Every structure is written in C-alpha cells, then in structure tokens.
Structure 1
Amino acid sequence: MSKLHIQQRISNVEKIFLKTNIPVLKIGDNVRIGVKIIEGNKERVQFYEGTIISKKNSSINTTITVRKTFQGIGIERIFLIHSPKLTSISILRSSKVRRSKLYYLRNLKGKASRLKQTFK
C-alpha cells in the first residue's frame, strides 16, 4: 500500500467523528463551553467560560486553549473541539486582535487584559 492510500483511509475514518455543529471559532472570542462530567453514576454538564488565546492543529485534532481568571488567578484549559465530552460551544463575544496567539495576556492583570470588542 502506498502512503497516499493510507492517508486516504485515515481521513475517511476521521470524517465520521468530525462534529458539524461547531461555530467558527477565532482567537480572542469569549466562549462558553459545556463539558460533560461523570461523577459516580451521574452525568452532568459543567460550563467553562473564557477567552480563546490559541488554536492548534487541524481536522479532528483541532484544539483551543481557553483562559479565564478566577479570584485573581489565571486558569487555562485546552479543549479538543471534536471530543464527545464537549456538549456545546457558544460564542458570547468577539474581540479585535492582531495576533494568532494571545499568550501576552498571561502577564497582564485586571483591566489591562481586556480586549477591544467587535460588533457584527
């Protein structure tokens, strides 16, 4: 088997698991992500709200890093967008940014870390 043929098979299998109801996510967007959490025999959805500071990879391996500040401490979490554990992704607010990675927000505190909002 040629390498091209193997890649074709892999992409066909990945297509099955791709989610279709995902909105267009951009860097600087404020998002609310519903994560499925299993505690014992109970299942619930916990929401995580923050700003997208980076986006990596493509296709089924797409990940986003979401940052929020909780009680003055910055918390970052990486989400695999096409994971079955994510129940919902909604965009709350979009911001105007000129960078592809917003890692500089890690060093800013308080009002300095706010981004300029864009309206559609």
Structure 2
Amino acid sequence: MDLIKYVQEKYIDKKDFPSFKAGDTITVYYEIKEGQKTRTQFFKGVVIQLRGTGATKTFTIRKMSGDVGVERVFPINMPALQKIEVNREGRVRRARIYYFRNLRGKKARIKDKSFGGK
C-alpha cells in the first residue's frame, strides 16, 4: 500500500485546481486531439459527486443539453485537463446528489451559497 502512495506522489504531477464540492456549478476546460490538431473544449455543469482520494480522485458533472441530461466523469489528474473554474457555489445537504437527475425545470435549481441559501 505504501509503494502505491510513493509512486503516486513521486511520479504523478499534481495540478493546482480550485476546491469545489457537490452542488457547485463549474466549467472544465480540457484538450481534445482530432488527428494532428488539438483544441480546447469546455463542459459546464453541476457537480453531482466527488469520489476517491489523491491521484485517483474523480468528479462527475451533469449538464442539460436541450431536454437530454449529459453526465461526464473527469479524473482530477487527467493530462488533458487545462483548468477548472468555479462559477457558482451551491448549497446542498448531500455529498452525492443523485436525486438531481430526476428533477426538471424550476425544481432543478440549486440555492446559492453566497446568499445564505434562503
């Protein structure tokens, strides 16, 4: 077990991303390779869950594309990740907000943390 931690700390470079949690709305900028070209694409949505620790940490983001919900799981140390912006801090009472998948319209709004969540 200590050997795994040693290798992760020594050889996997840690990127400096802002802290965020479930309920926050974030924008993730990541690089896409198409043949010889690379371009930056962004994915903006609500964080549904954070899972794992250290180098194996992942987070799931959900956004609505028309009427279809799209979820994407990002590893925190994915080499293609360029930056993460926290757009809004939400106030939720769960660490993993799976119930958010079933909500539609005005019910799917998450209260802002900045206004005390009232």
The question of a shared fold, defined as TM-score above 0.5 by the shorter chain, is answered with yes
The count of corresponding residues between Structure 1 and Structure 2 is: 114
Q: Residue 117 of structure 1 aligns to a residue in which SS?
A: coil
Unaligned regions of 5+ residues in structure 2, if any?
Answer: none
For the Cα contact (< 8 Å) 1:18–1:60, is it kept in 2?
no
Picking from 42, 45, 54, the partner of 1:47 is 42
Where do 1:15-34 residues align within 5 Å? 15=9, 16-34=11-29
Q: What does residue 3 of structure 1 align with?
A: none
Runs of at least 4 residues of structure 1 off by over 4 A? none
Equivalent in the alignment of 2:65: 70
What CA distance in whole angstroms lies between the structure 2 residues aligned with 1:90 and 1:17?
A: 22
Q: SS of the residue aligned with 1:111?
A: helix
User: Is 72-81 or 11-20 further displaced after alignment?
Assistant: 11-20
Structure 1 equivalent of residue 6 of structure 2: 12
Structure with max Cα Rg:
1
**Which residue of structure 2 lines up, in the alignment, with residue 95 of structure 1?**
90
1:85 aligned onto 2:80: yes
Identity value in percent? 36
